[in-house]
Amino acid sequence: MKIFKLLLKNSLRHKLRTFLTILGIAIAVIAFNVLRTVVTAWSVGVEASSANRLITRQAISFIFTLPYAYRDKIAQVQGVEEVTFANWFQGVYIDKNQFFARLAVDPETLFRVYPEYLISEDELATFKKERNSCVIGIDIAKKYDLKIGDVMNIDGDIYPGNWDFVVKGIYHPRDKTTDATQMFFHWTYLDERIKQDMPGRDGEVGWYTIKISDPSKAAAVSEQIDKLFKNSMAETKTETERAFQQGFLQSTSSIITSMNVISFVIIGIIMLVLGNTMIMAARERTREYAVFKTLGFSARHLVGLIMGESLIISAIGGGLGLALTFPIIAAFAEFIPKGWFPIFEIETITIVFSVTAALMIGILASIFPIQKALRTKIVDGFRFVG
């Protein structure tokens, strides 16, 4: 007989209790992993943002627009390499639940400012040429089964009307963090129609994205740009893309913070669950530990016996939780509308952390029962009545 066999038999003594403890650990590990994945998915946008891009928007609020005429002025600022711009178009595609970014852009400059959107030269050339064409990210193409030549019909809301766009290009993400869930079409196509339908609202740009030659000069360039439009009808606020993203995150940051906190609270809870199980188990076995000691088993053996059992339970629970994490995260990724998160995948660090935590908890949960077992004198152990 090996000690390991005794460990297994011990942990199966109260099958229901062990099963519930394992289940508890598994659920906690899953919850931890899912929460961490949401948290990291959220902040991935910030990490993905480029340090050499600035965003110029209306100073008062993101929802107000800027004159198209700013474009040339911005382009003349020293340190500015390229200027592109976009309008948030939104609209309803298929139904209201299909959420992904639909933007009116400048085809000439967009892909130069965003080199992480990879598109073939042919497709880009066609896109530039055809007024009512659009380019979509590969994820969108896959999700809606869209191919080159297909028509996307969108019901405008911010810009009312019925809009048809012909898919003429599909871009691929360069990096894992690149958002491949957007749809781009010609800003001029939008602007011309607005000029007809809603004169006065034409010539408006949602925001400018500026590529700068030297990221270390970002602050100076930003200041320079904002100074240009000081005391005008539409003052601007320019900041790095990263700061912009962070600002966007700020509004949701309390949710993120609480998710972060909860994910660690969960770890604490698993520890209590397992600790409780181990304390009960060790208490029931007080007499048995006295027997082991009487037979000449040392402290080392008892530590092995108790910690081993605790580790078996936490390892099985952790393993089960981890195994179930993958399908559950995958299901989440399906369920969450495309475009909420550029990527929704469990990070290696999360896996490493949850597995380490499960094992650490296995060790920690056994410390108190071990102490108790070692401190109890043999004679007191025999006199112990549950």
Ligand X SMILES: Nc1ncnc2c1ncn2[C@@H]1O[C@H](COP(=O)(O)OP(=O)(O)OP(=O)(O)O)[C@@H](O)[C@H]1O
User: For binding to other proteins (CB under 8 A), which residues are involved?
Assistant: 1, 3, 5-6, 9-10, 12-13, 287-288, 290-299, 377-379, 382
CA distance linking residue 106 with residue 289, whole number of Å: 77
Shortest distance in whole angstroms from residue 33 CB to other proteins: 34
CB nearer to ligand X: pick between 176 and 383: 383
Shortest distance in whole angstroms from residue 379 CB to ligand X: 4
298 binds, among other proteins, ligand X, none (CB under 5 to 8 A by kind): other proteins
CB nearer to other proteins: pick between 9 and 131: 9
Q: Which two tokens stand for residue 5?
A: 């066999």
Shortest distance in whole angstroms from residue 306 CB to other proteins: 14
224 Rama class: left (phi>0) / alpha (psi -120 to 50) / beta: alpha
Question: Taking the CA atoms of the chain, what radius of gyration do you get in angstroms?
Answer: 30
CA distance linking residue 316 with residue 273, whole number of Å: 14
Binding site for ligand X (CB under 6 A): 379-380, 383
CB nearer to other proteins: pick between 176 and 377: 377
Q: Are 116 and 162 in contact (CB under 8 A)?
A: no
CA distance linking residue 151 with residue 165, whole number of Å: 5
CB nearer to ligand X: pick between 5 and 375: 375
CA distance linking residue 316 with residue 308, whole number of Å: 12
Q: Which two tokens stand for residue 68?
A: 């198209």
Q: Which two tokens stand for residue 211?
A: 């590529």
CB nearer to ligand X: pick between 131 and 383: 383
CB nearer to ligand X: pick between 278 and 290: 290
Cross-strand bridge partners of residue 164:
153
Q: Which two tokens stand for residue 61?
A: 């609020």
CB nearer to ligand X: pick between 82 and 288: 288
Shortest distance in whole angstroms from residue 280 CB to other proteins: 16
CA distance linking residue 108 with residue 232, whole number of Å: 28
CB nearer to ligand X: pick between 272 and 291: 291
CA distances from 159 to 69, 197, 280 (A): 21, 10, 66
Cross-strand bridge partners of residue 117:
173
Shortest distance in whole angstroms from residue 384 CB to ligand X: 10
The sign of the torsion formed by the CA atoms of 29, 33, 35, 39 equals: positive
291 binds, among other proteins, ligand X, none (CB under 5 to 8 A by kind): other proteins
Shortest distance in whole angstroms from residue 330 CB to other proteins: 40
Shortest distance in whole angstroms from residue 377 CB to ligand X: 7
In which residue are the tokens 């270390």 written?
216
CB nearer to other proteins: pick between 120 and 294: 294
| 358 CB-contact burial (10 Å; exposed 0-12 / middle 13-18 / buried 19+) | buried
Q: Which of 319, 355, 262 is nearest to 38 (CA)?
A: 262
Shortest distance in whole angstroms from residue 177 CB to other proteins: 52
Contacts of 309 (CB under 8 A, 6+ apart): 7, 10, 11, 278, 281, 366
Q: Are 116 and 173 in contact (CB under 8 A)?
A: yes
DSSP annotation of 175 reads S
Q: Which of 73, 80, 150 is nearest to 112 (CA)?
A: 80
Shortest distance in whole angstroms from residue 293 CB to ligand X: 14
